[in-house]
Each structure stands twice: as C-alpha cells, then as structure tokens.
Amino acid sequence: MFFFPQQQIASFQKASFQALMSLTNKYMDGFQKLTELNVQTIRTLVSENEGVSNPTPENASDPGAWQSKFLTQVPEKAASYRRHFFAIVSGTGEEVAREAQSQFASYGGHMNEIFKTAADSASEVQEKAAVSLETNFKQATEASVEATAGAADAVAKNTQAIVSATTDAINTGADSATKSADKANQKR
C-alpha cells in the first residue's frame, strides 16, 4: 500500500529539483568568479610583460632591471591572487551552506508534513483493517452460532422423534403385553 499522495510526491520532487538547481547556480557563480579572476590575472601578467619585453630606453640601459622588478612583484601578486581566490571559494561555500540551510528549513517541515500524512494514512488503514476484522469475526461467529443452533434444533427434533417413537413403541409393547397378560389370565 502506498501511503504518500501523488501531489505530495510531485511537490517534493519539484522542490528537490529547484533546490538542486539553486545549489548548482551557486557553484556555477563561484566557478565563474574564479574564471574571471584567472582571466584578469593572465591579462595583467601579459600587459605588464609586454612593457618589459619591448626595448625602451629605460630597460635598454639595464637588461636585468626588468627581471628584478618582475621578481619583486611576484610574491605580492601571488598573495593578492591567493586572497582573491580564497575570498571567492569561501564566499561560494558560505552561499551554498546558507542555501542548503534554507532548503532544509523549508523542506524539512515539508518532509515532516509528508511523514505525518503517511502516519495518519497508516493509522486510518489500520483502523479500517481492525473494523473489517471485527466485522468478519462477528459474522463468522454469528454464522457459527446459527449453524450450531440449527444443528441443536435438528438434534432436539430427532431426539423428540426418537423419544416419541420409543414412547409409542413402549406403549404399544406395554399394551400388547397387558393384552397378552390379560389373555393369559383369562385362559387360566
């Protein structure tokens, strides 16, 4: 027996799909932000290196100057990239956690409602089964009592017929014996 109404199952599936889509959108937003950060970082590196690799009067006089300038900026740029990366990842994680909590809060109550409906349906089915069992038991008992009463009536009628026949036979036999005794007494 199926305890959940089809409407509740359909609404639960729809809500689950919407929750999945919402969480997927949160992850995709975070992924998009990371992609934008990587593209921006690459563009910045390319634009800075273009200026360094082109010969200008500044870097023509000292060829190692551009390398030292570039190498001193690498740790600073790496730290900046790392901060942005972790900010995006932690922000996405927080958004996903908030969304999961809100989904659980809204659909946790919905699940409680579904389970309550199932429990009510189960108790209704159980009550119907108990009533049906009681009715069937009463009907079987009544049929058994009627059959027993009919059999008792038949036995009583048969017994009465036998007693009647026996009484008639005894009376007939007694009358015959009395008549025979009277005849024997008269012959004497």
Dihedral (CA of 4, 5, 10, 12) sign? negative
Most confident among 6-15, 90-99, 112-121, 168-177 (mean pLDDT): 90-99
Under the banding of pLDDT at 50, 70 and 90, the label for residue 43 is: confident
Dihedral (CA of 134, 136, 137, 143) sign? positive
Q: Is 77 exposed, middle or buried (0-12, 13-18, 19+ CB in 10 A)?
A: middle
Cα distance between residue 134 and residue 8, in whole Å: 33
Q: What pLDDT was estimated at residue 102?
A: 79
- Asked if residue 43 belongs to a domain, the reply is yes
Q: What pLDDT was estimated at residue 55?
A: 52
Q: Is the pLDDT of residue 54 over 60?
A: no
pLDDT tens for each residue of 116-153? 776 777 777 777 877 887 788 788 777 877 777 777 77
- Asked if residue 1 belongs to a domain, the reply is no
52 within 8 A of 103, measured Cβ to Cβ = no
Query: Residue 129 is part of which domain span?
Result: 6-54+62-187
| Global pTM value | 0.47
Cα distance between residue 129 and residue 83, in whole Å: 66
Task: Give the count of beta carbons closer than 10 Å to the beta carbon of residue 26.
Answer: 20
Q: What pLDDT was estimated at residue 36?
A: 92
Under the banding of pLDDT at 50, 70 and 90, the label for residue 80 is: confident
Cα distance between residue 103 and residue 80, in whole Å: 34
- Asked if residue 97 belongs to a domain, the reply is yes
- Asked if residue 123 belongs to a domain, the reply is yes
26 within 8 A of 96, measured Cβ to Cβ = yes
* Domain count of the fold of the chain: 1
- Asked if residue 37 belongs to a domain, the reply is yes
